[in-house]
A and B are shown apart, each in its own frame.
Chain A
Amino acid sequence: MDGMLTAMATAILAIGLLAALFGLLLGYAAVRLRPASDPVVDHIDSLLPQTQCAQCGYPGCRPYAEAIASGEADINQCPPGGDNTIRALADLLDREPQPLNTAYGEAKEQATVVRIDEDRCIGCTLCIQACPVDAIIGAQRQMHTVIEDLCTGCDLCIDPCPVDCIHRVTVPTTTRNWRWPQPENTPDHAA
């Protein structure tokens, strides 16, 4: 009887100690091998619209998020996100919401995409290089076209076009892209 109890105690103690040892090692490793990326940057990045349009002056949404986190950039430089993004960022970072800085572009009331006037396109590929989301297809001296499903409406391709054959068109609201409007911010909610 006694021998059995000792055997059981040994087994439980040995496995328990082993588990505790591994736990300690893992805990130590978790502290030592903490990933270099800042969780704040991840949070900011998740609030940005991910259009990668670079209108904020940074190459994409993540670099802009890093710039905000380091205090280098202000939170009102994202035209595609508009007021909603600014408000969410202000909420996250505990700052005062401010109006969009129009130096970086205007917020749009309605979604737009660009369209290439294909008769006038000379196939210079300049717009392809400007497109941050690879939504333009075409080749040297071949007609180019925009894949409208991929176009984020950042308008970055309009300026480089030497023959001004790219224009903005509004996306008509259909049953496929209609969404419930965002709730209005009531005064007590904003406070």
Chain B
Amino acid sequence: MTELALILVATVLVNNFVLTQFLGLCPFMGVSRKVETCVGMALATGFVLTLSSVVSYLVNTWVLAPLGIEYLRTIAFILVIAAVVQFTEMVVRYTSPLLHRVLGIFLPLITTNCAVLGVALLNVQQQHSFAASALYGFGAAAGFGLVLILFAGLRERLAVADVPVPFQGAAIALITAGIMSLAFMGFTGLVRL
């Protein structure tokens, strides 16, 4: 039980996927202009991450390992992720057409979010159990959502701030991301897995 709690804290804060492992940077920079869209994106990514890490664990344990074709892991996981993203898009379009319109192209682009594939592969590499895999995926998504929303809040304020001309736009966003990453380094040593 403590191990599972540790996984959660470790993925959300200590080994945050965006700020310390530098995975999933494209949506982090791309959709972080408004807090509202960020919440939607964080929820959609959370759904995809948790589901895909569970399904990829099942595929790895029940299909790839017994047949001895673990070398096809990457391609099998990409297949799983693509299917899960498609499924998520259908669910979002069915439950909330408005959110579907707001997220637009970023929803199918979760497929290419490297954090999703990264979590699936790290699960195998670190030999997580089923529950640990699910929690690892969920924790990665929670960490991703947390920094995405924090970053969007910062960028909303930056939009009205008096930024010097050479730093305007992407430059100040990247600098902000760097400082956030520095801040998250402060969590190192909080938990050791």
Interface residues of A (CB under 8 A from B): 7, 10-11, 14-15, 18-19, 22, 25-26, 29-30, 33-37
Contact = CB atoms under 8 A, between A and B. Distances in A.
A22 B86 CA distance: 10
A11 B72 contact: yes
B54 to A, nearest CB: 14
12 contacts: A14-B64, A14-B72, A15-B75, A15-B76, A18-B59, A18-B76, A22-B83, A25-B83, A26-B83, A33-B91, A33-B93, A35-B94
Given A26-B83, A29-B87, A35-B97, A14 B75 contact: no
B59 A37 contact: no
Contact of B79 (A7, A18, A29, A35): A18
B69 A10 contact: yes
A30 B93 CA distance: 11
A75 to B, nearest CB: 25
Nearest to B100: A35
B63 interface: yes
Given A11-B72, A14-B67, A35-B97, A30 B79 contact: no
A162 to B, nearest CB: 37
- By secondary structure, the A interface counts as helix
Contacts of B91: 33
B116 interface: no
A26 B87 contact: yes
B191 interface: no
Contacts of B5: none
Interface string B64-83: 10011100100110011001
- Give the contact-size bracket for chain B: 10 to 19
Contacts of A35: 93-94, 97
Question: Closest 8 interchain pairs by CB?
Answer: A22-B83, A33-B94, A33-B90, A11-B69, A29-B90, A35-B93, A10-B67, A26-B86
B97 to A, nearest CB: 6
Contacts of A19: 79
A35 B99 CA distance: 13
A91 B177 CA distance: 53
B97 A15 contact: no
Contacts of A7: 68-69
Nearest to A8: B69
Contacts of B94: 33-36
A38 to B, nearest CB: 12
B90 A30 contact: yes
A119 B97 CA distance: 46
B97 A37 contact: yes
Chain A CB within 10 Å, residue with most, of B68, B90, B93: B90
Nearest to B91: A33
A106 to B, nearest CB: 34
A14 B63 contact: yes
B157 to A, nearest CB: 26
A30 B90 CA distance: 7
A22 B87 CA distance: 10
A26 B69 CA distance: 25
Contacts of B69: 7, 10-11, 14
Contacts of B67: 10-11, 14
A25 B55 CA distance: 13
Given A11-B69, A33-B91, 19 more contacts: A10-B68, A11-B67, A14-B67, A14-B72, A15-B72, A15-B75, A15-B79, A18-B59, A18-B76, A18-B79, A22-B80, A25-B87, A26-B86, A30-B90, A33-B94, A35-B93, A35-B94, A35-B97, A37-B97
